[in-house]
């Protein structure tokens, strides 16, 4: 039997970084930046996601 990959796992492995980068770009293009705290929180969350992506890629290589 072939091993079936769920869409979530495949998407997470392949496009995790690109997906959040697109979200970041759309956020800065389309949303107002009156709330500085919101921008800081969003950037913080994005940095955490990037770090988790990098950490998950290191042991596999």
Q: How many domains does the chain have?
A: 1
Split at pLDDT 50, 70, 90, the class of 61 is: very low
**What is the reported pLDDT for 32?**
63
Within a domain: 1: no
Per-residue confidence (pLDDT) for residue 9, from 0 to 100? 61
Model confidence band, residue 11 (pLDDT cutoffs 50, 70, 90): low
Cα–Cα distance, 49 to 43 (Å, whole number): 10
Encode pLDDT of 18-52 as tens digits. 777 787 777 777 766 666 777 777 788 878 877 77
Whether 2 maps to a domain, the answer reads no
Position 49 scores a pLDDT of 77
The residues near 50 (Cβ < 8 Å, ≥ 6 apart) are 17, 20
Contacts of residue 26, defined as CB under 8 A and 6 or more positions apart, other chains included, come to: none
Domain that holds residue 39: 7-60
CA gap 21, 16 in Å, rounded = 9
């Amino acid at each position: 039997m072939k091993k079936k990959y769920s869409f979530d796992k495949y998407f997470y492995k392949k496009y995790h970084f690109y997906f959040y980068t697109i979200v970041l770009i759309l956020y800065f293009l389309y949303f107002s930046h009156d709330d500085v705290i919101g921008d800081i929180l969003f950037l913080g969350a994005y940095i955490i996601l990037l770090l988790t992506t990098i950490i998950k890629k290191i042991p596999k290589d």
